[in-house]
């Protein structure tokens, strides 16, 4: 994929840092599309490859038959307008008409900025989806762990107390004195609640620790992936 010629404008088509471009090209290269990717500006101008790229991540979101290959400006614009209306809005962004016209007319660096924005949206959605998938089992596990522990904690507290304070309140002696070892029921309930609250706090902290460990693991995977790309992928712009 050839690097577009330099631009001297100060608009959406401003030149992009070369390192960012090379990473973008590598990202595009790893996705199998219906035609060779030789020149990003020209090859993506009709919107077809953009539709295929999105379908690679979200197959149900894109109906590829809605985007026929085009060489004329009118049909290219129609493809992009359909993308704007049916796909981009669901990804929570929308391209302005003047940006679409610049893409269709192959203005340098415009499609790169569109793809960079698209990649950010895709990464965000994929991350949120991944996070939800990991948090749900964690929440179910927390519920399973804390409910038995809470019941057991209450049972343990009750079993360690004298029978007199686990059952009905003993009747006062005729002289109005309190039996030895007697604890008011309200104080017992406060202690039980305190134990349960501490147990719940411990479980929440343990869940947070597991979550942080998972995030660190994902970060390490991302770093290793980027390092592998740097070591093994020949930059597209230098082909």
Q: Distance between CA atoms of 203 and 42, rounded to whole angstroms?
A: 56
Per the domain annotation, does 71 fall within a domain? yes
> Is the model's pLDDT at 29 over the cut of 80?
yes
104 and 40 belong to one structural domain? yes
Per the domain annotation, does 53 fall within a domain? yes
Domain count, the chain: 2
137 and 105 belong to one structural domain? no
Would residue 36 be called left, alpha or beta, if left means φ above 0 and alpha means ψ between -120 and 50 degrees? beta
117 and 34 belong to one structural domain? yes
121 and 141 belong to one structural domain? no
Per the domain annotation, does 88 fall within a domain? yes
CATH at 103: 1.10.418.10
101 and 187 belong to one structural domain? no
The token pair at 37 is 């990717």
159 and 134 belong to one structural domain? yes
146 and 107 belong to one structural domain? no
Contact status, residue 118 vs residue 89, Cβ threshold 8 Å: no
138 and 99 belong to one structural domain? no
Q: Quote the pLDDT of residue 164.
A: 44
Strand partners, 157: none
Average pLDDT taken over every residue of the chain: 76
State pLDDT tens for residues 128-152: 887 777 766 555 655 555 555 555 6
Burial class (CB in 10 A: 0-12, 13-18, 19+), 25: buried
73 and 107 belong to one structural domain? yes
State pLDDT tens for residues 47-80: 999 999 999 999 999 999 999 999 999 999 999 9
Main-chain dihedrals φ then ψ at residue 187, nearest 5 degrees: -70, -40
Q: Is the pTM of the predicted complex or chain greater than 0.75?
A: no
Q: Which domain holds residue 189?
A: 127-165+182-238
């Amino acid at each position: 994929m050839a690097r577009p010629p330099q631009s001297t404008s100060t608009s959406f088509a401003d030149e992009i840092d070369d390192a960012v471009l090379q990473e973008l090209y590598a990202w595009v290269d790893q996705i199998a599309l219906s035609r060779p990717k030789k020149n990003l500006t020209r090859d993506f101008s009709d919107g077809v490859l953009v539709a295929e790229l999105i379908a690679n991540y979200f197959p149900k979101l894109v109906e590829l038959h809605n985007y026929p290959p085009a060489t004329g400006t009118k049909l290219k614009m129609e493809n992009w307008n359909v993308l704007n209306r049916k796909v981009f809005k669901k990804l929570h962004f929308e391209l302005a008409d003047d940006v679409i016209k610049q893409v269709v007319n192959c203005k340098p660096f415009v499609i790169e900025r569109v793809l960079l924005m698209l990649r950010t949206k895709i990464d965000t959605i994929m991350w949120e989806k991944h996070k939800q998938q990991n948090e749900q089992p964690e929440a179910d596990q927390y519920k399973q762990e804390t409910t038995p522990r809470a019941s057991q904690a209450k049972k343990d507290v009750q079993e360690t107390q004298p029978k007199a304070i686990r059952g009905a309140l003993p009747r006062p002696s005729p002289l109005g004195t309190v039996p030895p070892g007697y604890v008011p029921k309200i104080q017992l309930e406060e202690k039980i609640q305190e134990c349960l609250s501490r147990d719940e706090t411990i479980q929440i902290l343990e869940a947070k620790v597991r979550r942080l460990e998972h995030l660190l693991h994902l970060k390490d995977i991302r770093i290793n992936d980027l390092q592998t790309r740097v070591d093994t992928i020949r930059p597209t712009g230098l082909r």
